[in-house]
Structure 1
């Protein structure tokens, strides 16, 4: 109605404005094209190629015989391979021992930084925590070789101060495993600390001050007040660190090359040996796909039992 006069209804609805941001011809779509091609080239294509190779007999040393389709033979051979299960067991042991230590030390550092009243100290600590995370895996492995060297390593020097005899860290199976653990804890405990510190900053200050007046025990405050704010970050830590440990290759290969013997031959190192030393790309692809499935299952379990509790 306009100026008191009713307008005739011709049965047509007014045209709605078209959303230009979602049209294929819009500038936003063309800006996404490089990211889509990069994701397809780096992530999707290698995954599809590995899945294709896992169902074929693909041996680099015998390409003359072709790459016949062999169904699930590579997967059956992998699941019945004792060396595969041995490497997976060492990886699981490394994950189950190292990850809780990193979370515990990270939580301790986060609580200390959260309780400090010195802004400059907190800022300096945050910058210092970023340094190990910014170090590449290969450099961490080289640093580990220097620290645990028998002749001039810092580890034997510190042990000598306490009267310990020099140890050949990288030649002993147990000590080599522990050495890799120490370097991984040094590199990724700061990551856990920063994530958990971010969760602690989400706790309302009024509720935290009231809780400290109610009880002086920090364990009760941590469990009843701060724990719900830490669980989402803890879920992210568990997912990311578990995935990193399952595919950890650079630091181990640079530091010990999987030795001595098979003491530090984790699953990623074993897959590399099968694919590029035994030249069996089909078997290595099947093992990589199984490792991917295991990573997805672990992530779903973390979300189901840790993140759901936070929600």
Structure 2
């Protein structure tokens, strides 16, 4: 009896396109990056080939002070912007969760999707217009308070803040929608009973609603941390990593090494270390936040 080369199960054929896309878009580039990270691969010197260099690229990365500076700027951005997004998102979710606002929740869901649906590159271009020194909206609004025009994208600190403002604008709605979904899972009977016991909103939030918010909060931390560690488009279109190196986050630095200095091997090693850091952060979030549900 001849063995069938292709299974006849419908489940296989439904899963095959997704698995194939994952392999082509995700797994194959990962394997290529891993291969390049242990080889010498310079685009400007392809005649020398791609000899195996072992862990030399990783050692060069770990001893590169510029790499650590870029990573430090990225981690500082994560530690500043992410709590703001979660706090504002939680505030918006609590406001929309109030009884008797069904029509407002429906309209808000539509409005909150707009920033999330905007691509990163467009967000960066919008940021360049908003924070332009000559005709930007930011300086126009400050003029009403008698503040002189600021060089938002020319000052290192202000450029860093400008990128943070645009990221908070784009992703606070995401946090609000995820947390609002968690609040809708809270039993109404439990909330009503808690309101009869106490009028302190923080008490109800901590003892009644917190367990339903933790899964969404964990998802926000994992997804947004990964996004911030690899954010490139918005920063590059808005500041090009400048002024100087003020907004040269780790992804912008890796791009400079790989496509402006043409050292694909070193850039791949840096990208693999960034992947390891993302996995470690995700495991920490799951261990210390999500486990509270157990």
TM range (shorter): over 0.9
- Aligned residue number for residue 268 of structure 2: 285
Q: Give the paired residue count.
A: 289
- Aligned residue number for residue 120 of structure 2: 137
Aligned alpha-carbon RMSD (Å): 1.0
**Alignment partners' CA distance in 1, 2:170 and 2:19:** 32
How far does the alpha carbon of each residue in 1:122-163 deviate from its partner, in whole angstroms, 9 at most, with x for none? 111111111100000000000000000001100001111111
1:48 to 21, 31, 35: 31
The correspondence of residues 291-302 of structure 1 with structure 2, limited to 5 A, is 291-302=274-285
How far does the alpha carbon of each residue in 1:250-279 deviate from its partner, in whole angstroms, 9 at most, with x for none? 000000010000000000000000000000
**Alignment partners' CA distance in 1, 2:33 and 2:257:** 14
**Alignment partners' CA distance in 1, 2:129 and 2:246:** 19
Find out whether 1:182 has 2:165 as its counterpart: yes
2:180 to 187, 197, 218: 197
- Aligned residue number for residue 72 of structure 1: 55
Deviating beyond 4 angstroms after TM superposition, the runs of 4 or more aligned structure 1 residues are: none
The correspondence of residues 206-225 of structure 1 with structure 2, limited to 5 A, is 206-225=189-208
Q: Would you say the 8 A contact 1:102–1:185 is kept in 2?
A: yes
TM-score normalized with structure 1 length: 0.91
Q: Give the Å deviation of 1:169.
A: 0.2
Q: Would you say the 8 A contact 1:147–1:154 is kept in 2?
A: yes
Q: Give the Å deviation of 1:30.
A: 2.9
- Aligned residue number for residue 163 of structure 1: 146
Find out whether 1:98 has 2:81 as its counterpart: yes
How far does the alpha carbon of each residue in 1:99-132 deviate from its partner, in whole angstroms, 9 at most, with x for none? 0000000000000000141321111111111110
TM-score normalized with structure 2 length: 0.97
2:236 to 253, 267, 270: 253
The alignment partner of 1:101 has SS state of: helix
1:227 to 200, 210, 214: 210
- Aligned residue number for residue 3 of structure 2: none
Q: Would you say the 8 A contact 1:116–1:122 is kept in 2?
A: no
1:125 to 104, 108, 112: 108
Higher gyration radius (CA): 1
Q: Give the Å deviation of 1:28.
A: 2.9
Find out whether 1:33 has 2:21 as its counterpart: no
